[in-house]
Amino acid sequence: MAQKAVFYHAGCPVCIDAEQRFAHSLDPRAFDVEIVHLGEDKSRILEAQQSGVRSVPAFVVGGEPYHINFGAALSDLQ
Amino acid sequence: MAQKAVFYHAGCPVCIDAEQRFAHSLDPRAFDVEIVHLGEDKSRILEAQQSGVRSVPAFVVGGEPYHINFGAALSDLQ
């Protein structure tokens, strides 16, 4: 069964690049990907923080954060 | 056609976790993944550096580096 993966981003160039490269290219048999734009949905920032996300773009899989390069600090989105 | 993606790592816990999460979970229709252990194959370090890799674990896709979290600096592997 596919595991849930949340991709958090903020529309920044680094974010969009990572989204195009990875968020749309994970094996659908392995991951069920949800894409969350934290600039547009600030109500999800707390959830990202609680999963250990410090910057975007980042995936959270199995409760663990995976930061991909550095686009923007989460603290700058609040 | 699948695009070449090189996953560079050094056997560190962060590397192995990222490898298990992502290197084996990319859509095979999108990516043809090569896994390179820079601790065991130091001859590939220069190539990683030239692609902009500064730390492992990292993917290089289309000539661009994608660092995932931080396991070890490339400079510490030389």
Q: Do A31 and B17 touch (CB under 8 A)?
A: no
Q: What is the mean pLDDT of residues B39-64?
A: 96
Distance CA B59, CA B6 (A): 5
Longest CA span, chain B: 36
pLDDT confidence of residue A1: 77
Q: What is the mean pLDDT of residues A47-67?
A: 97
> Does the reported pTM lie above 0.80?
yes
ipTM for this model: 0.91
Strands A31-37 and A3-9: parallel
Q: Do B21 and A69 touch (CB under 8 A)?
A: no
Q: What is the mean pLDDT of residues A13-33?
A: 93
pLDDT of B78 strictly over 80: yes
Q: Take residue B59 and report the two structure tokens written for it.
A: 């993917």
What pLDDT digit, counting tens, does each position of A26-41 carry? 999 999 999 999 999 9
* A to B CB pairs, distance under 8 Å: 45
Map residue B72 onto helix, strand or coil. Answer: strand
